Every structure is written in C-alpha cells, then in structure tokens.
Structure 1
Amino acid sequence: MQDVLAGAWQSLAGEPLPAVSLTGDESVLPGHFRVPAMASASIAAATLSAGELLRLRGIDPGTVSVDTRHAAAAFRSEHLLRIDGEPGPSPWGRIAGDYRAADGWIKLHCNTSRHEAAVCWALGVPATREAVTKAVAGKTTAEVESAVVTAGGAAALMRSREDWLAHPQGQAVAELPLVELNRIGDAPKRTLFDSDRPMGGVRVLELTHVLAGPVAGRVLAAHGANVLHVGAAHLPRIPVLTMDTGQGKRSAFVALDTEGGRAKLKKLIARADVLLQTFRPGALARIGFGPDELAELRPGLVTADVSAYGWTGPWARRRGFDSLVQMSSGIAEEYATDAPAPLPAQALDHATGWLTAAAIMTAIRRTATDGGTWHARLSLAGTGRWLDSLGRKDPKPSEADYADVLETVDSDFGRMTRVRMAGELPGAPPHWDHPSHRPGADTAVWSPVVPQPVS
C-alpha cells in the first residue's frame, strides 16, 4: 500500500513522502478492486497534509499511521451510523436502483424528489417501481440515459471499461491529474492563527451536497478548521448523510437564487480562507463567483472544486454521483454476472473527499510559505481512474469487527454512534468539537472559534 500512497502524494504535493505507517491488510472489504488500499492511502494523504501544517507551526506531528480496518470503516461511515441504536433512514428513493433495459443495465439515481420527478417525466410513468421497470425494459439503455439526463435527472448506463476508455469523456478524464492544484493569483503570505491544531483558525465555507464534498469538510473540521456548511432551506437533503458528514460543522441556510442571498454569500467569502464547493463546473461562475472573481474578492483564498466527471470533456457539466460514475466507467461491469457489481462502499465519494481535504491543507500550507491564491480540482471519475490503475486483489473478505473504531455521543438527532475520525496524528489527534447540527440551525455568519487544546 505504500506505493499507492506514494503515487497519490506525488500528485498532491510533489514532495518526498514523509514518514508514515500503514498497517493491516486488504481483506477487510470484499471485491476485486483495491478499495482498502485506496482508503488507507487517501486517509494517509490527508493526515500527512495536516501533519505538514502542524510542522509549519513548529509542532512535531509524530509518525502518521492508518490501519486498513479503520479506513474501511471510515469509507462505510454512513452505513455504520446509528441513532439511538437504529440505522439512519435509507438514502435511496422508492424507484432508485438498477434496471434492465432492452440491451443492458442502467442505474437511475433517485435519492431526491427532483431526481425522481425527472425520471418519471422522461419515461412518462408514475413513481412506482413496476411502472419504471416496464418502461425501461422497452427501451435501450442509451435511450433511457439520454431521456433522463435531458429531463434534468441523473442516470448512467452500464459501460465496460473498454467502452469508457474509448468514450470522449473517458478520454478527457484520462488526461486529467488525480489532484490539480494551481496558483491562480497573487496574495501576501498567510499568517497562521496561533493554534495547536493543523487547521486552527482557518475558516472554511462549504457549499456542498451528498457525500464527497461533505466528507472533505468533515475531515477539515476534525483537524481544527472553523467549517460553516451553507445550504438552502428549499433544497432536498438526505438525512443519513447530513447526520454522518456534519460532524464538527455549523450549518446555515442562504438562498443563492436571490440577490440578498448572493450578497450574504459575498460577505462570507470575503472573510473566508477556503471555499469548498461541489456545484457542477461553471455553476458558481454564472452567478458571479467564478475563480477570477473569487481571487479578486478574496486574495489568498483557497478554492476547491469537486465534480463528478471532471472539468473538461462533453460531460463536464453532467450531474453525477459515485454509483453513476461506477456504472459509466466500467467498475460496476467488470465483475458483473446477473446484475451490476458495485464497490463495497461509496469509495469514489469518500476517497475524493479525503483527497480534497488533503489538497486544501496543502494549499493552505503554500499560502503560508509562498503566498498566492490557490485553486484545487478533483473528480469522482478521476478517483475512479486511480482505483482502476491500482490493479486487483483477492475478492474474499475476512471478518471485520469495527466496534473499537466506533464512539457514541449525544447529538441534535439523538444518541449517535459514529466512526471515530480515522488517521492517527500524534502531535494533534484529530477530533470533532461537536456532533452534527441540524440543517440550518446556525446563523450564516463567521463566529469566533477558540481552538481547544487536545486532551
């Protein structure tokens, strides 16, 4: 696994790999793909990035360590979450899932009412599994995919790896780095807030949804960042993901479709250190918050953009999610028998989230050493390409008991059992200052946060 981490670290930081300990084996999760290795490497990359920030503060980070079993649990955190001893509500809608069309399989991603409505409108059917099954069976996968995407929904037909590599979007993704981190403007060197935590005093404005972006914000919060998640009251949410990924963050509502909301966002950005966002490429630019505008508004800002299919190519603006990228890129097809064979976790989401956090912390370090305004870009499809490049493993799993990597805390949602923050950093053990807040429970202002010493 050391070589997997070394490759990711080179793409991320372009520096020699610091001392790190990776323990455990890859049998903790089933399947042929090396998800445990990817999990350990991406968590280690983020933890090492935090350690380098700590070193910059004059604190010895110690030797970073990651165990594959804890990494596997972190990548399945939403599945392991319990509220008052019970699993969280299913993230999937009533018609979400895989359907057999006339020439193959297609996935309909219907975990919000908007996605469900788009599918029903595209197929001309009511929202019942029976009606959707019948309609899809009479069409080709390409017909269904095109109709749903045109209607504003999210769908992906199951392609082979070979078909994806020959596809224009697959070719575009192949040209992109795993992590793109560029200096896009000038700014004085940052003075780090006095803190004993890597991201202490760093304000992170999070405009994200679903999983990859929220995971990145959760990681940054565990390393001491002041994270404010901004959503909108009218937009649908997936409760179990909100509960799981909101650790350590505050949550506020801002209506970006109004002039007043955009003015409020502008004020937040003007005092932010990081903007983490998962809007489709170009969406924020259309309302006046593109990279150039942001660099002018807040010199020294670190911006991180996460997309599904990358930032170039014909699908750059296409809606996408982990499960759809698995279908599109050949991951779900490679070992399929009677139905698509997905990964044992939403691994593209989780890995991209951890790598995004790593890129942000690397950029913060560079603003302190070199100055400048920085822009990071990552994608689920790019992470999928990385996973494909790692080779394959024995698919047989061993028994994995996660009890010792779980912890229970009181939360706004009830007694919450969650996966402890993964990645050991002796110099400043990562932890969340509070559990997830209910959506919109906080005001959309930057509150002063006094870094708490590690007990």
Structure 2
Amino acid sequence: MTLLTALPDTDRYHLTSNGHLHSAFAVTDLANASIGAVGQELASLIEAMNLANSAPEITVDQRLASLWFGYSFRPEGWELPHLWDDIAGVYKAQDGWIRLHTNLPHHRKAALRVIGCPGTREAVADAVKHWQADGLESEIVAAGGVAAAMRSRVDWKMHPQGRSVATEPLIHWTGPAPVKLRDRPEATAARPLAGLRVLDLTRVLAGPVSTRTLAGFGADVLRIDPPGWDEPGVITDISLGKSMAALNLTKGSDRQVFEALLNQADVLVHGYRPGALDGLGYGAETRRQLAPNTVEVQLNAYGWTGPWATRRGFDSLVQMSAGVADAGRNWAGTEKPHPLPVQALDHATGYLMAAAVLSALTAAAQGEAVPQARLSLARTAELLAGMEKSAEGPEITGPVDSDYAPEIEASSWGPGRRLAAPLRMSGIAMRWETAATSCGSAPPAWA
C-alpha cells in the first residue's frame, strides 16, 4: 500500500470533457484530479476490504466537478442568505490592495477596532486608503482578526511563509501508529463507507467538503459545533448527509460526551490551527489515548511550518497572500485583485482530505501502521500554481436545470435541488441519505 501523496494520473479515471471554468489557473483540471483522487482511493479501499470481485471503473464528470467547486444547492421558491458580510472584500490601501474577511462577528469587530472607523463599506474604504497593506494586515491579525494583503507570486515565493509552504508535501503523513479498524458489516460494494463513524470538527469550507464527500458513500458523519454556531449562506451546501450537533468543549459534561464520541469514532477530521486543540486539553497524545484506533486528518490555512503556521485564514485570503489574485489580475487585465472563479483551494483541499481518509483506511485494512495526514490551503495553492491547463469544452458560466438531480431535497430551510454527483463508479452510488440540516439540529450521538 502506498499512501496518497499526489494527484492521481489521468489514466486512473475516465473523464467527460464537457466544459471548463475560465481562469488564469487550471481550476477545472484541479477539480477533475482532486475528485478523481477520491475515486482512486475508494477503489483501493474496496479492494482491501474484499467488497467486490473487480475494481470499479471511475468516471469524473468534468462539468459537474467544476460546478461542485461552486455551490451545489439551489433553493426552490426561497432565497439563500447573502454569503458575505457587508464590509468583507477588497480595499485599496496606500501601496496596494488588502482583503478583509469579516463574516464572523469577532473578526469584524477586530478589523473595525484596528481600522478605527464606523462599520460601513464607505467608511472602511476611506480609512484603509491611509494604511499600508502589510501594516494593516499585521495589525488586524494581531488583534485576532483575519486579513490578507495582495502579494505577487514572486513576492510570495520570497516570503518566509511562502518558502516554508513550498517545501511541504501536498499531504504530510506523520506519526504512524497501528490502527485496528472496527468491523462494519453494513459495508457493501455499493455503500463501502456504510457504518463508518466520522467525527467532524471543521468549519468553512474545505473540511466540511471532505466529510460531505465521505457521507456520499455511506459514512455516518457527526459534526460538532459550539452552541449557537451558524454559517449563513454556506451551511446549506456543506451539511448535506450529516448530523449537526453542538457541544461546549470548555464545559465538563460536554467534554465527557465529546470524549466518548471520539473514542467510538473511526475517523477524526479537524480544522483547528496548530496548538488550538492542545489549548482545549486535546493534544495529539491525548487524542491518541482517547481514540487509539481512529484515523485522523488535519487541515489549516497557511501550512504546517513557517511563521504563519498558526495564522487564521480562508480560501479568499490565501489567494491574496499566495499571488493567485495578483496573477489573476494580470491575466484579466484589471486593476483590482482578480480571484479564482470559485473557491478552488477550499474544494480541492476538501476532496484531497477525503481521499487521504480513504488512503489511511486502506492502509489500516491491510494491517499497516497508519500516520495522520496534514493538508493546507496554501500548499494546495502551490499545487494549482504549478498545474497546466488542459481541460477542454465550452466555458462554464453556471449551472442549468439539467445539471441538478431530479429529486427535491427537503433542507432545514426549505426545498431545493442538489447538483448531480460529479463522481461515478460502477456499482457504487454517490448519494446522501439525509438532506442538509441546520447547526445544532441533532443530538451529539452516533446514529
């Protein structure tokens, strides 16, 4: 068994070349390959578990893969809440551009406290003009907020964090240990992940994409959020197929529940910054003691080494930092930063995380020691920057009716339709047992 370390060769899956996203970067090729990696690793797990007589054929629908890198859910007869806070976005500074990410209330407060102005877009734009981009970025980050000055690819490659990320593997496997998998009699060739318990401690967006993918093949995904948590405009897309529960990990009784859930989990996926779980009393050694037979995959924004390893971040910010938005600006011939047409770093990293889970499970099924996997948005940005565009077909400008599955999905917020699955495997249906549901809508218990 060889653990997943890179994108699969194109001969590992069939591809329907039926459209591409218009971008300075190979976004559609990245979508194809990251989703293809899920198919490749799932096929290996099916073989290791002796669930089928032959390896399933894998097909990635290029158009649907590209569309799933955007929003997969379309409401019927109602509207989704707006995705962005009213002051989130890019602003012109004295010497360049900066992006503020203010969707979370505490991030908004931190940014406004540093900038020192009222919370209107006009006031923020006027105030930011008097700041240097790097200085404002540093001040907001120090205040507990999130922001990113726009850098070129050359600048990023010379930056200490850019240099560190460039030396990291795409998937960093670390700390191998024996893992004894729980028997899952529910697992079949058609639903190979049935009965697999996945404890999801992730937020917007890559981590939730990974666990949504696992749920599509039968996994029992239980996501734990802090009480009162919500992600308006996003949760409808990424809670598909999951049980959404809430626990306060600083509260004794909730910690006992969490520890029991972790002990019974087959997989732990989390997106905490390095050291954050340690601060809650759940460092790596404690997690191993509580759950010695649990496969673990971790995510962060800016990489696992370098001075920014603990920095908060999101896809749109990493695009600014890593030179993606600047390269897009040059390609598009615009003055303002020009981001990718979709949040490709999030989605690709999410699918690669799901593939890493499957790769680790395969190693465990074959009796091998299983390491933990670490991925980051910044390392995925390096992957994308090095890819050549080869996707063919007409430009994809958005979904049409025929891209959606025919069934009506009864989400917590109202009815809607979901894009048809982008990955097809012979004899295996990528489908979700339950509709998208709101945060805190389920008890913190395994099904």
| Pair in the same fold by TM > 0.5 | yes
- The residue that corresponds to 2:279 in the other structure is 286
C-alpha displacement at 1:309, in angstroms?
0.5
Is the alpha carbon distance of 1:432 and 1:137 closer, same or farther for their aligned partners in structure 2, counting shifts above 3 Å?
same
- The residue that corresponds to 1:119 in the other structure is 111
Structure 1 position 103 matched with structure 2 position 95: yes
Identify which of 344, 349, 352 aligns with 1:352: 349
- The residue that corresponds to 2:167 in the other structure is 175
RMSD over aligned CA atoms reads: 2.2
Q: Is the 8 A contact 1:102 1:137 kept in 2?
A: yes
Is the alpha carbon distance of 1:151 and 1:265 closer, same or farther for their aligned partners in structure 2, counting shifts above 3 Å?
same
C-alpha displacement at 1:28, in angstroms?
2.0
C-alpha displacement at 1:10, in angstroms?
5.6
Identify which of 312, 320, 326 aligns with 2:319: 326
Identify which of 182, 192, 214 aligns with 2:208: 214
- The residue that corresponds to 1:446 in the other structure is 446
Is the alpha carbon distance of 1:421 and 1:348 closer, same or farther for their aligned partners in structure 2, counting shifts above 3 Å?
same
> 2-side partners of 1:394 and 1:446: how far apart?
41
Greater displacement, 276-285 / 50-59: 50-59
Q: Is the 8 A contact 1:181 1:363 kept in 2?
A: no
Count of residues in correspondence between the two structures: 435
> 1-side partners of 2:430 and 2:272: how far apart?
28
Q: Deviations over 1:72-127 (max 9, x none)?
A: 111012xx532224442221001000000000000001112111111111111121
Q: Structure 1: which amino acid aligns with 2:404?
A: L
Q: Structure 2: which amino acid aligns with 1:263?
A: Q
C-alpha displacement at 1:398, in angstroms?
2.2
- The residue that corresponds to 1:4 in the other structure is none
Q: Deviations over 1:303-340 (max 9, x none)?
A: 11110001111000101000000000000001312100
> 1-side partners of 2:11 and 2:200: how far apart?
29
Structure 1 position 383 matched with structure 2 position 380: yes
Q: Structure 2: which amino acid aligns with 1:212?
A: A
Greater displacement, 270-279 / 173-182: 173-182
Is the alpha carbon distance of 1:425 and 1:402 closer, same or farther for their aligned partners in structure 2, counting shifts above 3 Å?
farther
C-alpha displacement at 1:9, in angstroms?
8.6
Identify which of 30, 35, 57 aligns with 1:43: 35
C-alpha displacement at 1:135, in angstroms?
1.1
- Any gaps of 5 or more consecutive residues in structure 2? none
Report the TM-score when normalising by structure 2: 0.92
Greater displacement, 267-276 / 372-381: 372-381
SS of residue matched to 1:239: coil
- The residue that corresponds to 1:186 in the other structure is 178
Q: Structure 1: which amino acid aligns with 2:356?
A: A
- The residue that corresponds to 1:299 in the other structure is 292
Is the alpha carbon distance of 1:281 and 1:36 closer, same or farther for their aligned partners in structure 2, counting shifts above 3 Å?
same
Q: Is the 8 A contact 1:295 1:373 kept in 2?
A: no
Q: Structure 2: which amino acid aligns with 1:317?
A: T
> 2-side partners of 1:19 and 1:203: how far apart?
28
SS of residue matched to 1:428: coil
> 1-side partners of 2:396 and 2:237: how far apart?
24
C-alpha displacement at 1:216, in angstroms?
0.5
Q: Is the 8 A contact 1:103 1:140 kept in 2?
A: yes
> 2-side partners of 1:439 and 1:227: how far apart?
13
C-alpha displacement at 1:32, in angstroms?
1.6
Q: Is the 8 A contact 2:36 2:423 kept in 1?
A: yes
Q: Structure 1: which amino acid aligns with 2:240?
A: Q
- The residue that corresponds to 1:11 in the other structure is 5
Q: Is the 8 A contact 1:30 1:397 kept in 2?
A: no
> 1-side partners of 2:63 and 2:236: how far apart?
22
Q: Is the 8 A contact 2:4 2:359 kept in 1?
A: no
Structure 1 position 238 matched with structure 2 position 231: yes
- Any gaps of 5 or more consecutive residues in structure 1? 1-7, 448-455
- The residue that corresponds to 1:411 in the other structure is 411
- The residue that corresponds to 1:427 in the other structure is 427
> 2-side partners of 1:333 and 1:49: how far apart?
34
> 2-side partners of 1:224 and 1:354: how far apart?
16
> 2-side partners of 1:10 and 1:301: how far apart?
18
> 2-side partners of 1:84 and 1:43: how far apart?
27
Structure 1 position 137 matched with structure 2 position 129: yes
Q: Structure 2: which amino acid aligns with 1:310?
A: G
